[in-house]
Amino acid sequence: MFSSDRCKNIYFAKWDTACVVECASAVGNGCKCIYGSIGIITDSLIGAFSMLIVFLIIYYISRRTLGGGDVKLSFVLGFALTITMVFTAVFYALLFCGIFAIVAIALKKLNRKSPLPLGPFLFLGTVVVYFLYV
């Protein structure tokens, strides 16, 4: 659990500041602040801007068939994820959206030209990945 030997078998009163920070970050939800990692704030910023860049590229390539709200939502949801989790969340979002579209077309609720909002599926993919990794 700890990356250094100085924190093992030490009473709480004798812990130094570095040991307390190391222990708190090891126990925290997905916090990778232990020796040599980039930190949770930087990790969140990288996740958010990577989601923004990916969705802006898709927005302009698809000739704006992807909504601007989906781009903004992906940026906000990227703050909850790290760079490795971002692409997994997008994969799950598109997977859930595809499954929903296939079922809705099979049940004659949608046709192939019907618009389908991506926002709820982005949120669902983010929640699923967040709980899978935490």
Q: Which residues of the chain have pLDDT under 70?
A: 1-38
Q: Are residues 3 and 52 in the same domain?
A: no
- Burial of 45-61, coded b for 16+ CB within 10 Å and e otherwise, reads ebbbebbbebbeebbee
Taking the whole predicted model, whether its pTM rises above 0.75 is answered as no
C-alpha to C-alpha distance for 113 and 79, rounded to whole angstroms:
33
Give the DSSP letter string of 36-63.
S---HHHHHHHHHHHHHHHHHHHHHHTT
Q: Give me the domain span that covers residue 14.
A: 1-37
Q: Are residues 49 and 9 in the same domain?
A: no
**Is residue 130 within 8 Å of residue 82, measured between CB atoms?**
no
Total of domains in the chain: 2
Q: Are residues 31 and 53 in the same domain?
A: no
**Is residue 59 within 8 Å of residue 104, measured between CB atoms?**
no
Q: What letter would DSSP give residue 3?
A: S
Q: Are residues 53 and 102 in the same domain?
A: yes
